[in-house]
Amino acid sequence: MNDKSNSKRILTLLMALMLSAAMVLTGCSGSGGEEGSQSDAEGEGSGKVMVLYTSDIHCGVDDGFGFAGLRAVRDQLESQGYETILVDNGDAIQGDSIGMMSKGEKIIELMNILKYDVATFGNHEFDYTVPNMEELVKKADFPYISCNFTKNGELVYDPYIIKEAGGIKIAFVGVTTPTTLRTCLPEYFQDENGKQIYGFKEGGDGEELYAAVQEAVDSARAEGADYVYIMGHMGIKATDAPWTYADVIEHTSGIDVFLDGHSHDTEQVVMKDKEGKDVVRTACGTKLQAIGYSELSKDEGVIDTNIWTWNNDKSVPDLLGVDNEAGEAVDKALDELKEELDVVIGKSTSDLTIFDPEVKNNDGSPVRMVRRAETNLGDFCPDAIRDRMDADIALVNGGSIRVDLKKGDITYGNILEVFPFNNNLIKLEVTGQQILDALEWGARSLPDENGGFLQVSGMSYEVDVNIPSTCTEEDEMFTGVSGERRVKNVMVGGEPIDPAATYTVAGSDFLLTGHGDGHTAFDGATVLAGSGMLDSEALITYIKETLGGEIGSEYSDPYGDGRIRIIQ
């Protein structure tokens, strides 16, 4: 499909959305089921099929298109004679209060109302533990699939499912990044004796995963699938290698379209598989800023694969007044949480940010800095933890700080959005050398961002990015430093750090003992305290008790107070 016809379809869909401000769209709702959704407009089996996909929703049920806009788009397509299949590529249940406070259940309930046809797992589906994820799967009215999530070496769920629509058999294969083992608490995937029992086909430098995908693709073809769609949560970042979407495509064959997530990007790519055949890779960003689609028919095959994007500050439901069952369900779910989340616990005299206040990306979006440089929110969070845990130092991985704290009143809901993972706080006794190793590992990707980059309290450090990182690793876990260090001039309490001395360090169990983001430097350290306090609770208590209800001028500089210096 050319750009002109694509723009025409976007305009048509948006016109339909605007009409829904005055009346509810009359198209059929997505019905789900093995045979796909049917349209009453042109009769069954029109031969036109539209695969719609979402990814990395992160609880953004009223952001971007919103669930109401997604439902309206699906209804409109079906009124035009399309049979639709709606799928999700993971990371739907985490990222905002509605997910955290219900441990994902409210999101599954809303996805049921939208009549999703199939979903696969993102790494954040496991944030509330594997047993919780298994309960959510049971509550879903649609199947979850995965060709690489295993327990004791055996697949836990079906690797693929075949949906028939428009006279076409379309296979969907689910695959989740093995980096899930380090972005979630590793203990979630272990038995009571600390032995890993869950896995993601992570062995063989990628080969085990490639083989799992290939086996699922081949089996789906043998079962009669006309087309094979990968529902991937793999991403594009170098730190996701050897399991990026490109790694998978290069080492497999038989895939027609790769629906991808995890990196929150919107790149549309065509690349060769291992037999030289073109494979389309598509991604739709995060928080429903876009809806992905792939149009196909029995006669023409895959016609076009791309995304529809909504770039307005206001969401589709808010701006266009979309009124349908999905929107009503979202409003009800949010209203149920509103009273508790809206309780004010304090105020801030400045914006506390994770973004650069001046620099923008090419698309005009703000540059996220908390994973590669100091920010005032990056100072505030470890300050709160150090205060509550009474430690010499506090460390917070930048990837755990998720959103800004805006100037003005601060509510419980605001804090839960900053720290949505419910990590427990602990305090360790560690050596100065262990601290140096942790800082080196956290800074290895600079100037690129890394979720394991360390924001600090009670100390300061410099990073010379002109020195290449010499960190060594195994299975993406830190094992040592083989050459010159890029972290310099580390100070604790205003004095140079002593590698042989001991210090108390506070932080989340995810970071300090759970090998989160590959941090292993504190292995063997003495655990002095397991507080039973959540990271979000520390922020709340720090604001209410230590700061007297007001975050003041000490946090006014968005670039922080000079704890981390990056030498370009």
For 473-490, the pLDDT digits (tens) are 998 899 999 999 999 999
Contact (Cβ atoms closer than 8 angstroms) between residue 268 and residue 306: yes
CA separation for the pair 239, 535 (Å, rounded): 26
- Report CA torsion sign: 383, 389, 393, 397: negative
What is the pTM (predicted TM-score) of this model?
A: 0.69
Written as one string, the DSSP assignment of 187-251 is GGGB-TTS-B-EE-S--GGGHHHHHHHHHHHHHHHHTT-SEEEEEEE--S-GGGTTSSHHHHHHT
Which pLDDT score, from 0 to 100, does residue 55 have? 97
Count of beta carbons in the 10 Å neighbourhood of residue 126? 23
Which pLDDT score, from 0 to 100, does residue 46 have? 65
List of E strands, 369-486: 393-397, 408-411, 424-431, 454-457, 459-464, 471-474, 477-481
Question: In 3D, which of 467, 525, 461 has the Cα closest to residue 496?
Answer: 461
CB contact set of 499 (below 8 Å; sequence gap of 6+):
431, 432, 433, 436
Helices (H), ranges, 351-399: 376-389
Which pLDDT score, from 0 to 100, does residue 29 have? 30
CA separation for the pair 177, 235 (Å, rounded): 8
pLDDT in tens, the chain (568 residues): 444 445 445 545 554 554 443 333 323 333 333 333 333 333 345 689 999 999 999 999 999 999 999 999 999 999 999 999 999 999 999 877 788 778 899 999 999 999 999 999 999 899 888 999 999 999 999 999 999 999 999 999 999 999 999 999 999 999 999 988 877 767 789 998 889 999 999 999 999 999 999 999 999 999 999 999 999 999 998 878 999 999 999 999 999 999 999 999 999 999 999 999 999 999 999 999 999 999 999 999 999 999 999 988 899 998 988 889 999 999 999 988 888 888 899 999 999 999 998 888 887 788 899 999 999 999 999 999 999 999 999 999 999 999 999 999 999 899 999 998 878 888 999 999 999 999 999 999 999 999 999 999 999 999 999 999 999 999 889 999 999 999 999 999 999 999 999 999 999 999 999 899 999 999 999 888 765 567 998 999 999 999 999 999 999 999 999 999 999 8
Tokens representing 360 are 């923008």
CA separation for the pair 248, 211 (Å, rounded): 9
Contact (Cβ atoms closer than 8 angstroms) between residue 461 and residue 497: no
CA 72 distance to own-chain centroid: 25
Helices (H), ranges, 35-121: 66-79, 97-100, 105-114
